[in-house]
Amino acid sequence: MDQRRKRLKFRLWHRGIREMDLVLGGFADAELAALNDSDLGEVEAWLDVPDQQMFAWVNGAETAPAEVDTALFRKLRTYHADGAKD
């Protein structure tokens, strides 16, 4: 794994609130290696969103804005929903 991915994975596992650590860190474990540079940039932008806001978007409590509601973000939501069923 290259340095960018390693750094990103660490940051996704250390968000601040445990719920987001689990959602984003688990997603990173499953998907980070396969993401292209554009996708990595999008994931890096997720880190600028406050935890509570991101969690509300991911779990569907609030609708994510159009610029966030991308195919990759929907993949994250699906990952979270599937994990929540286990």
- Residue 65 scores a pLDDT above 90: yes
Tens of pLDDT along 25-57? 999 999 999 999 999 999 999 999 999 999 999
Q: What CATH number matches the domain at 3-85, 3.40.605.10, 2.60.40.10, 3.40.50.2300, 1.10.150.250? A: 1.10.150.250
Separation between Cα atoms, residue 39 and residue 60, nearest integer Å: 21
Tens of pLDDT along 4-17? 999 999 999 998 89
Q: What is the pLDDT of residue 16?
A: 85
pTM equals: 0.89
- Residue 86 scores a pLDDT above 60: no
